[in-house]
Amino acid sequence: MILPRTDSLTDYCAFGLRIESEMPLPELTRSDSPAYLGMVPVNVKKSDLSAMWAEYEPVKESIALVGRQVLFRIPDTAIFCVDGDSILFSPCEGASEDKIRLFVLGTCMGIVLMQRQILPLHGSAVAIRGKAYVIAGASGAGKSTLASTLLGRGCSLLSDDLIAVTLAADGTPMVMPAYPQQKMWQESIDRLGMSSAHLTPLYDRETKFAVPVPAKFCNEPLPLAGVYELIKTETTATMKAINGLERFHTLLNHTFRGFLIDRLGLMEWHFGTLARFVNRIDMYRIKRASSGFSAHALADGLLETIH
């Protein structure tokens, strides 16, 4: 569903996509490159979705699938409808625009990537010596903290939380730049010697902040050279290479909102995409102690494997 262009829309670019939004998206970069003008845009618009939501039965976690469309509802926030060409949102009364924006740039954009057959990974992507490296892991594993530590070592950020991976004609996986912002917990900010006094808390997460990093952002697509899976452990910290079929399982586990892949009929595409590059990149599993602060040591180990 491609919505008609109106004068109230602003052009942005992120994840390798052209985005036209009637809601301000201050995190994103304005799109002024001719390369984006020929793209079919993703329209972000407000719409009344209440009747549509009432018509369909949710299949999981307040999510309903209607053909190509994915509807989901976040209590006290909004109903969203995503179909690859558009993101429609129906705000709840009194809902914060900041919170709505979190879901537009997160879950909604991840679904758009799937629907456009662009691989969405969950993690942080950093640029090191002209190549992209993904730090994957469960929530709270320390992905953004390790990425921020690497930025302090002269590396650059490509994406935080949602990572868009496309395949070049020769099968090379390319990580597309998202926008120059990280999401970090207060504890990590303190441990890294930063201050949160000038930072904006993420909605309803008073101890997690949006951390702008415009001076440390890479705005060019880079080839994906490695994936590092970060896991908390109560035992000794280790770093080991991931080999064989375990490489597939690792990337499957860290596909953003991966439970939708089968429901959207994209299993064959997903498997085929992974198969084209899974053995062309380095993959490591890093186990870190759940107690203490080990980001600097982890950064040393990661950089050592690259160098």
State the Cα–Cα distance between residues 182 and 55, nearest whole angstrom: 37
Residue 127 CA: distances (Å) to CA of 31, 93, 156, 198: 22, 41, 5, 26
The continuous run of DSSP H or E covering 137 comes out as: strand 131-137
Q: Could you tell me the two tokens for 149?
A: 């530590």
**Above pLDDT 70, what percent of the chain?**
92
Q: Strand, coil or helix: what is 76? A: coil
Global pTM reads 0.91
DSSP state letter for 104: I
Question: What is the pLDDT confidence band of residue 38, given thresholds at 50, 70 and 90?
Answer: low
Chain segment 197-255, per-residue pLDDT in tens: 788 888 766 688 888 899 999 999 999 999 999 998 777 778 899 999 999 999 999 99
Residue pointed to by tokens 């995190």: 27
pLDDT digits (tens, 9 = 90+) for 111-148: 999 999 999 999 999 999 999 999 998 887 788 889 99
**Residue 244, Ramachandran bin (φ over 0: left; ψ between -120 and 50: alpha; else beta):** left
Q: Is 21 helix (H, G, I), strand (E, B) or coil?
A: strand
Domain boundaries, the chain: 10-115, 119-306
CA atoms of 180 and 216, how far apart (whole Å): 8
Task: Let me know: does 179 contact 158? Beta carbons within 8 Å.
Answer: no
Sorting pLDDT into bands at 50, 70 and 90, what band is 59?
low
Query: Contact, 101 vs 19, CB < 8 A?
Result: no
Structure tokens at 103: 């879901």
> What is the CATH number that goes with domain 119-306?
3.40.50.300
